[in-house]
Amino acid sequence: MRTQPDDDSQGGGGAPQVDGVPALGLGTSGNTDPDQCAASVRTALELGYRHVDTATSYDNERAVGRGVENADVDREDVFLATKVWYDDLGYRDVLDSAAASLDRLGTDYLDLLYVHWPTDSYDPEATLSAFAELYDDGTIDRVGVSNFDPALLETAVEVCDAPITVNQVECHPLLQQEPLRRYCADQGITLVAYCPIARGAVFDVPELQSIAEKHGVSAAQVSLAWLREKGVVAIPKATGEAHIRDNWASLALDLDESDVAAIDAIDRERRIIDPGFMDW
């Protein structure tokens, strides 16, 4: 899957898209100060972002909703995504969780709803039947999963009556997820990368530093541009305007073949998010 140019009429803010998902979004994990969170969402949207990612477990959906409402951008032009936490994945719990998220976000539909982690109360048939119901009644436009490997994805696709089109996982130059990226591409599933700059670890990677110096940009921009080259959507967390702008500037960075090859050849691996209950 390669990114394709988008226009404002499709809600892309001039950014590329990957299969209808804006290729660069604003991540909000850990952004729990309500005013700061709302301000960062508004800043990002008014700068040109059109993809905002949150989750029930982030405890900031109300602030995210306020940021969307305050921004000088129409709601229908914003790709808004949230997630159901792993202890709310029973059939009725999913429906209740989605309703609560809608209320907190101040919207009557979601562009994307994820199964956050495939653990605890996750049962493919019960969980995904609720997601399919939400899809069928128009409450959600897309069904997504998060932290799913190919085996889990295969089962989910088989049992869900609605199309599963997105898988969100940790992905960056130090955790390249090449087999999973290949599998998702083959299945027509868009990969969304959380921690796309490895919570700042990319700044200490010599290969990325060298490429950044070559282009006169930041290592974060190099990481985001590499993901875009691979057809991966990135949702870096940023709170301050400077970081929001720096990430957005990655859309103007075109890596050449030698840059991409140098990043592909990084043979060190570092997983940032490892909660202990997943068998990676």
What pLDDT digit, counting tens, does each position of 51-76 carry? 999 999 999 999 999 999 999 999 99
Question: To the nearest whole percent, how much of the chain has pLDDT over 70?
Answer: 95
The answer to the question of residue 42 being in a domain is yes
What is the domain range of residue 188? Answer: 21-169+176-198+232-237
Tell me the average pLDDT across 111-132.
Answer: 97
The answer to the question of residue 279 being in a domain is no
- pLDDT-derived band of residue 280, with 50, 70 and 90 as boundaries? low
Identify residue 257 by its one-letter amino acid code: E
Q: Is residue 11 within 8 Å of residue 68, measured between CB atoms?
A: no
Which run of H or of E encompasses 18? Answer: strand 17-18
The answer to the question of residue 80 being in a domain is yes
Tell me the average pLDDT across 67-89.
Answer: 97
Q: Is residue 46 within 8 Å of residue 74, measured between CB atoms?
A: no
The answer to the question of residue 157 being in a domain is yes
The answer to the question of residue 134 being in a domain is yes
β-pairing, 143-146 vs 112-115, is parallel
| pLDDT single digits (tens) 27-52 | 999 999 999 999 999 999 999 999 99
**Number of domains within the chain:** 1
Q: What is the pLDDT of residue 278?
A: 82
Q: What is the pLDDT of residue 7?
A: 41
Which run of H or of E encompasses 37? Answer: helix 34-47
With 50 as the cut, is the pLDDT of residue 273 above it?
yes
Please report the beta strands in 117-173, taking only residues with DSSP state E, as ranges in sequence order.
Answer: 143-146, 164-170
Q: What is the pLDDT of residue 279?
A: 75
Q: What is the pLDDT of residue 153?
A: 97
| pLDDT single digits (tens) 191-203 | 999 999 999 999 9
Q: Is residue 222 within 8 Å of residue 260, measured between CB atoms?
A: no
| pLDDT single digits (tens) 211-226 | 999 999 999 999 999 9
- The CA-to-CA distance between both ends of the chain, in Å, stands at 24
The closest of 4, 9, 30, 8 to 19, measured between CA atoms, is 4
Both tokens of residue 159? Answer: 């049992």
CA distances from residue 277 to 5, 62, 225, 280 in whole angstroms, order as listed: 39, 29, 31, 9
CA–CA dist 165, 236 (Å, integer): 20
CATH number at residue 74: 3.20.20.100
CA–CA dist 233, 12 (Å, integer): 13
Average predicted confidence (pLDDT) for the chain: 94
The answer to the question of residue 54 being in a domain is yes
CA–CA dist 250, 55 (Å, integer): 25
The answer to the question of residue 266 being in a domain is no
Tell me the average pLDDT across 92-113.
Answer: 98
Q: Tell me if residue 86 is catalytic.
A: no
The answer to the question of residue 258 being in a domain is no
Q: What is the pLDDT of residue 277?
A: 78
* Catalytic member of 58, 86, 135, 194: 58
With 60 as the cut, is the pLDDT of residue 5 above it?
no
Tell me the average pLDDT across 170-195.
Answer: 97
With 90 as the cut, is the pLDDT of residue 167 above it?
yes
- pLDDT-derived band of residue 106, with 50, 70 and 90 as boundaries? very high
